[in-house]
Structure 1
Amino acid sequence: MGVTGVNGANGPSAAVLAIDAGNSKTDVALIGADGSVLGTGRSGGFQPPRVGVEAAVDVLARAVAEAAGAAGLRPGAPCADVVSACLANADLPVEERRLTAAVAARGWGARTEVRNDTFAILRAGLSGADLPRGVAVVCGAGINCVGMLPDGRTARFPALGVISGDWGGGGGLAEDAMWWAARAEDGRGGPTGLARALPAHFGLASMAALIEALHLGAVPRGRMHELVPVLFAVAAAGDPVASAIVERQAGEVVALATVALERLGLLREDVPVLLGGSVLAARHPQLNDRIGELLAARAPLARLSVVTAPPVLGAALLGLDSVDAPHGAHAKLRAHFG
């Protein structure tokens, strides 16, 4: 499919409408045929399980409208040839189909492609204009992994939490730290510095006080993610319990990556394995170095790196992949995002 470019006064004015929508925020960018960024927008988190599909897509619409306004497009007019949307909570094929239909119904583009938001991290971390080949593991609030081959084959996981066998990310790490710290204080478990460090973070004197504060709402449950850096600090000081939690997280990341590599026939290939999400992007040496050691034992030719580019770049690159973008468009787009 050819791209329209930036001058289509009576139709789409961009090649790609890129959407990256996570649980906490949505980023949108309108991309010209040459890879230029015509306009951007931002809105809130994308949470269809909590608010319903249509209300969740309304959140996307606010960011799309902001980007279209910045690009000088008419309100309500089609924005682009292709909508490339990488969305949180698009975990199952049935969810992708439902979200594709809901996004397409807004009329933002001639064609709509919806993927899980982990694919945006994967594509953002792969250089060049060649079609994607590699694996990405995202460890932020939760944990997920995807892999892609140039022929379109993918490897992925449901990533629905405990019911689909997942553990880790900020939520899992904080819960494990709380579990061990609570048992250390009341005698059901062995000693750990977490029992002092976790409540101290909130200005409290004991785990009992922290448990009560979380239960009664004095400390909102949403603040539990603040305990993840505390966990890593206690582990770095040599605490064996905290270190074991970090070791478990490293093992989970490598398990996901190696299974994805094996499914795609890449376990013994020279291939990028990309790490994204707030936990991995923080580059805690005890975690990231251990991931490198474990991965080298399972996939000795894999090339490990951390992705810090904004995920909306990945959504935009996926969009350019699907149109006949001219030479240099991918590089120009990547340069815009630094």
Structure 2
Amino acid sequence: MTGAGAPLVIALDGGGSKTDAVALELDGTVVAEARGETSSPHVIGMRGSADLVSGLIGRLLEETGPRSIAAANLYLSGLDLPSEIDEFRREIAGTPWAAATVDNDLFALLRAGTGEPDAVAVVCGTGINCVGVRSDGRAIRYPSLGTISGDWGGGWHLGERALWYAARAVDGRGAPTVLAEAVPAAFGLDTVQEVIEAIHFGRLASNDLARLSPTVFACSRERDAIAAGLVDEQAEEIVTMAVTTLRRLELLAKAVPVVLGGGVIGGRDERLLGTIERLLAERAPAARMELVTAAPILGAALLALESAGAGVEAVENARSTLEERPAAVVQ
């Protein structure tokens, strides 16, 4: 049954820079779409996150008219710990989607890239995170709270390191690098000192450092040794997360997909992807790299349809529509 009065399926994917939501009929037809800013509770707080999600779902239901919800699957960056998932559930209690499946946005990326029961996904966008699943239900997750939980990578860390190297190049503590000119130019400023002071005095937010990620890749392509080293370091960290997860799941010897996505990876930098492919072949030769170019809302929608008991035809119908939506790129 589709059309007015029929149940809807709601899917939402929230990343570090934007949040996408769709409403689908049970046959996989997309009937409403909405987009908002980041819904990460690390950025806007848990209450703000729940309000933004509820606002987007409300916009969907305004388009479709009043409909019951057969399934709602909500995947958000920043829901990294079980306690955070529980807190988000408390914030949406009392809404028509209170019984939604709620989890980290990595699961949407994973499903966008593969339907296989043994798989690993690494996202590298504003930040970096990884998840691995096995057919017996075992899963490997990471807190993904930045340096305090052992993480390095993504647009923010690349930007932070770019500024660090630029500052040292200017004052003589480090090697020369074109980042010394490129970093202030990225912010419309003249000198590295101006960037430092703008951040120190709050004229630039610390989160704005993620805007330097494209600069790092551009300087790497200009053969700047410092920038190229940062790109290699990023590739190393992505492969380390993937291989560690495969090892912990005892899947190193199996032909397992390693799904890669996020804005940094989505830029398809040749050095980054080539280094990832080479290191993965050396350390997990049975694994295969799967690059997700579609927006992760695809995976969220497929998971929501499957939660509602939709069949293969409905899933493929949704895929044919949503895989045309390109993933965000930050470089």
TM-score by length of 1: 0.88
Q: What amino acid sits opposite 2:2 in the alignment?
A: V
Q: CA deviation at 1:286?
A: 1.0
Q: 2:97 aligns with which of 95, 108, 114?
A: 108
Residues 13, 73 of structure 1: 8 Å contact kept: no
Residue aligning to 2:48: 55
1:69 equivalenced with 2:52 (yes/no): no
| 1:265-314 C-alpha deviation (Å, 9 max, x unpaired) | 22121121111111100011111110111111111121112212121111
| Farther-moved stretch of structure 1 (60-69 vs 231-240) | 231-240
Q: 1:143 aligns with which of 128, 153, 166?
A: 128
Q: What amino acid sits opposite 1:29 in the alignment?
A: V
Query: 1:138/1:239 Cα in 2 relative to 1: closer, same or farther (>3 Å)?
Result: same
Q: What amino acid sits opposite 1:232 in the alignment?
A: F
Q: 1:310 aligns with which of 284, 295, 320?
A: 295
Q: What amino acid sits opposite 2:171 in the alignment?
A: D
| Farther-moved stretch of structure 1 (261-270 vs 146-155) | 146-155
The DSSP-based 3-state class of the residue aligned with 2:22 is strand
Q: 2:2 aligns with which of 2, 6, 9?
A: 6
Distance 1:232 1:23 in 2: 20
| Farther-moved stretch of structure 1 (92-101 vs 43-52) | 43-52
Residues 232, 275 of structure 2: 8 Å contact kept: yes
1:331 equivalenced with 2:316 (yes/no): yes
1:83 equivalenced with 2:41 (yes/no): no
Q: 1:118 aligns with which of 80, 90, 106?
A: 106
Residue aligning to 2:275: 290
Residue aligning to 1:193: 178
Residues 123, 132 of structure 1: 8 Å contact kept: no
The DSSP-based 3-state class of the residue aligned with 2:100 is strand
Q: CA deviation at 1:219?
A: 4.6
Residue aligning to 2:262: 277
The DSSP-based 3-state class of the residue aligned with 1:310 is coil
Residue aligning to 2:329: none
Residues 6, 32 of structure 1: 8 Å contact kept: yes
| Farther-moved stretch of structure 1 (202-211 vs 168-177) | 202-211
Residue aligning to 2:38: 45
Q: 1:237 aligns with which of 208, 215, 222?
A: 222
Q: 2:162 aligns with which of 165, 177, 195?
A: 177
Q: CA deviation at 1:44?
A: 3.0
Residue aligning to 1:262: 247
Q: 1:99 aligns with which of 84, 88, 92?
A: 88
Query: 1:155/1:65 Cα in 2 relative to 1: closer, same or farther (>3 Å)?
Result: same
Q: CA deviation at 1:90?
A: 0.7
Q: What amino acid sits opposite 1:171 in the alignment?
A: W
Residues 35, 329 of structure 1: 8 Å contact kept: yes
Distance 1:166 1:123 in 2: 23
Q: What amino acid sits opposite 1:23 in the alignment?
A: G
Residues 39, 67 of structure 1: 8 Å contact kept: yes
Distance 2:169 2:263 in 1: 28
Residue ranges of structure 2 left out of the alignment (5+ in a row): 325-331
Distance 2:92 2:64 in 1: 20
Q: 2:285 aligns with which of 300, 317, 330?
A: 300
Residues 100, 113 of structure 1: 8 Å contact kept: no
Residues 41, 65 of structure 1: 8 Å contact kept: no
Residues 122, 259 of structure 2: 8 Å contact kept: yes
Distance 2:74 2:170 in 1: 46
| Farther-moved stretch of structure 1 (303-312 vs 84-93) | 303-312
Residue ranges of structure 1 left out of the alignment (5+ in a row): none
| 1:52-108 C-alpha deviation (Å, 9 max, x unpaired) | 43332111111101111222226xxxx412211101211011212222343353122
Q: CA deviation at 1:30?
A: 1.5
Q: CA deviation at 1:6?
A: 3.0
TM-score by length of 2: 0.90
The DSSP-based 3-state class of the residue aligned with 1:191 is coil
Paired-residue identity, %? 43
Q: What amino acid sits opposite 1:115 in the alignment?
A: D
The DSSP-based 3-state class of the residue aligned with 2:271 is helix
| 1:5-27 C-alpha deviation (Å, 9 max, x unpaired) | 53583xx612x211112233322
The DSSP-based 3-state class of the residue aligned with 2:260 is strand
Residues 120, 314 of structure 1: 8 Å contact kept: yes
| 1:34-62 C-alpha deviation (Å, 9 max, x unpaired) | 11112222233214345543332111111
Residue aligning to 1:31: 24
Residues 147, 154 of structure 1: 8 Å contact kept: yes
Query: 1:218/1:326 Cα in 2 relative to 1: closer, same or farther (>3 Å)?
Result: closer
